[in-house]
Amino acid sequence: MKLSKLWYFLLVYCLWHATNALANDVLYHWFEYEGKDTIFMPPLEKGQYQNPIIAGFYPDPSITRVDDTYYMVHSSFAYFPGVPLFASTDLVNWRSLGHILTRSSQVGSEKVGVSEGVFAPTLRYHNGTFYMITTAVASGGNFIVTAKDPQGPWSEPILLPEIDGIDPDIFFDDNGKVYITHNGPPEGEPLYNGHRAIWVWQYDPVTQKVLADSGRVVVNGGVDISQKPIWIEAPHIYKINDWYYLLCAEGGTGDWHSAVVFRSRSMDEAFVPYEKNPILTQRHQPADRENPISATGHADIVQTAAGEWWAVFLGTRNYSQSHFNTGRETFLLPVQWQDEWPIILPKGELLPYRLALPKGMKATLDADITTGNFRWRDDFSTQQLRNDWSLLRASRQQPYRLISGGGLTLEPRKVSLADRAQPAFVGRRQQHMRFNAATELQIPGDSKISAGITAFQNEKYHYFLALRRTEKNVEIFLEKAEDSMPKTIEKAMISLGSSQAKTMVLGIEGEVDKLSFYYQLGEGDKKYLAKNKDATILSTSIAGGFVGVHLGMHARLNTSKAFEI
């Protein structure tokens, strides 16, 4: 059967477009990351574990136990796939199971800002089904997904339009009732900035709907509204020894962050705050203390088979008192009980980096290295992108391809790191204050393509070390975005001369508050384009938002005058 002329030209165009796109793809041969933090250097003593248990930008942990296995999830915001999922049998060593939200239809985050997207998830298991409930900020609101196997497939979102707020929790009572608890606005006008409330609704898992008119406020403002507490949030409900406990975060996400607890004999009665709240905080510790862990809160607790209770929660490892680039990380502490009240960390105590292991645990098999100093390398020889990698926002057409035999290609797009769209970017989390990250890439053949390595915090705060082809040579340049569109701050012309080199190594060295950027051509020596550039602009205290730095690969088409050098 003959094709019409129209179909023929369409076919020719599609083949030309695909061929041209593949020809312009930028090939990366490997990416390597090494952490060198001094706090991790002394070897662990026998019977100890290391905090944080999962270093880097893994905030808002939620945990559940099924038999002898613990499952834990974290916020992902605009990164995709969404909601990282880990498993453990000993609470301290964790194996990545991938992500819960793996389809663009589940997240709808094509245009959101980096600190929008998927907020604080809660993970629970009930009667053979896993439930993950969360909020897609600026892209759909609150929803639930379910699965029989934690590794999926997970369902399409069950939308919860009745819920106005964030940080939802789902609780299955032993009388068959199901409750959703969340942060929301107070009844009436807020009395002050940061005045929020905790709401409880009944939920019908059969009809998959919130029961109309069942919502009520159970905490107004926080522990003591006369003190104007701010940002009561992150609620979790547990039933323990005939008490209903409500665990929340209070004080905002900065240094005043904390965990507080309430309890009641009935879900229909008032929740009473613990007189010794907060049960976890570092807010009163000296700001100039050595190796500070700050902003502790947003906790979830779980009971082991041996009867112990443990808490996972977020915290930050600061430098220069208020800066941190590694994001909010996941920590672990035992829970103590006093007068039937849980205490995660007694008042006045410093959060320790190393503690005694939980009792009666089986070692986690095939655990990933998630804390301490380590060296990590990806030659892109796997059939699927490793779980450590993230894309920025979701789309139906991914920006990368894995090459048979090793290698990853990025298809340059007319999208920069400063845009609210999906760029050609693949990154992994910065997990140390001191690190080296490097990649080897093919020198692009088209002068319109810039490709390299980035230290990325958000659209307005990042660095991009890149190269692009000139008529006879290669130009290497460093862009900096500091509350602005990216601007070139350093550049150099690299003469290939008689060299037959077709690839170049680009790297970033981190030294707490400084970043240095280097390149290496072929077998030549390492050369620095820029040394000791300001890393504090990538800290949350300057860049804002809720995420940590990602280090990764980026390629783009230079079509905007904003990027001309």
pLDDT at 562: 45
User: What pairs with residue 159 in β-bridges?
Assistant: 143
Q: Sort strands 280-281 and 258-264 into parallel, antiparallel or unpaired.
A: antiparallel
pLDDT at 381: 96
pLDDT tens figures, 277-286:
999 999 999 9
Whether omega for the bond prior to residue 278 falls within 30 degrees of 0, making it cis, is yes
**Reported confidence tier of residue 498, pLDDT bands at 50, 70, 90:** low
Q: Which domains does the chain have, with CATH numbers?
A: 5-35+373-563 (2.60.120.200), 67-356 (2.115.10.20)
Q: What distance in Å separates the CA atoms of residue 140 and residue 166, rounded to the nearest whole number?
A: 12
Q: What is the CB-side half-sphere exposure of residue 488 using CA atoms within 13 A? A: 15
Amino acid at 269: E
**Reported confidence tier of residue 139, pLDDT bands at 50, 70, 90:** confident
**Reported confidence tier of residue 500, pLDDT bands at 50, 70, 90:** low
pTM: 0.94
Inform me whether the pLDDT recorded for 2 exceeds 80. Answer: no
Burial of 76: CB neighbours in 10 Å, binned 0-12, 13-18, 19+: buried
Q: Which distant-in-sequence residues (6+ apart) come within 8 Å of 143 by Cβ?
A: 133, 134, 135, 136, 157, 158, 159, 160
pLDDT at 15: 35
pLDDT tens figures, 152-180:
999 999 999 999 999 999 999 999 999 99
Inform me whether the pLDDT recorded for 559 exceeds 70. Answer: no
pLDDT tens figures, 317-350:
999 999 999 999 999 999 999 999 999 999 999 9
pLDDT at 548: 98
Give me the mean pLDDT over the 57-73 stretch: 98
**Reported confidence tier of residue 5, pLDDT bands at 50, 70, 90:** low
Other residues' Cβ atoms within 10 Å of the Cβ of residue 522: 12
pLDDT at 472: 79
Query: Contact at 8 Å (CB) between 184 and 218?
Result: no
% of the chain with per-residue pLDDT over 70: 94
Query: Contact at 8 Å (CB) between 413 and 399?
Result: yes
The structure tokens listed for 88 are 């453990």
% of the chain with per-residue pLDDT over 90: 88
Q: What distance in Å separates the CA atoms of residue 219 and residue 244, rounded to the nearest whole number?
A: 14
Inform me whether the pLDDT recorded for 380 exceeds 60. Answer: yes
Out of 103-117, 205-219, 230-244, 249-263, least confident range: 103-117
pLDDT at 18: 39
Q: What distance in Å separates the CA atoms of residue 215 and residue 500, rounded to the nearest whole number?
A: 70
Which of 13-27, 187-201, 548-562 is predicted most confidently? 187-201
Inform me whether the pLDDT recorded for 267 exceeds 80. Answer: yes
pLDDT tens figures, 424-450:
999 999 999 999 999 999 999 899 999
Give me the mean pLDDT over the 86-103 stretch: 98
Give me the mean pLDDT over the 506-530 stretch: 94
Q: What distance in Å separates the CA atoms of residue 82 and residue 431, rounded to the nearest whole number?
A: 19
Q: Which residues are annotated as catalytic? A: 60, 233
Report helix, strand and coil shares of the chain as percent, to nearest 5.
5, 45, 45
pLDDT at 496: 76
Give me the mean pLDDT over the 517-533 stretch: 92
pLDDT at 1: 42
Nearest to 496, CA basis, from 517, 474, 511: 474
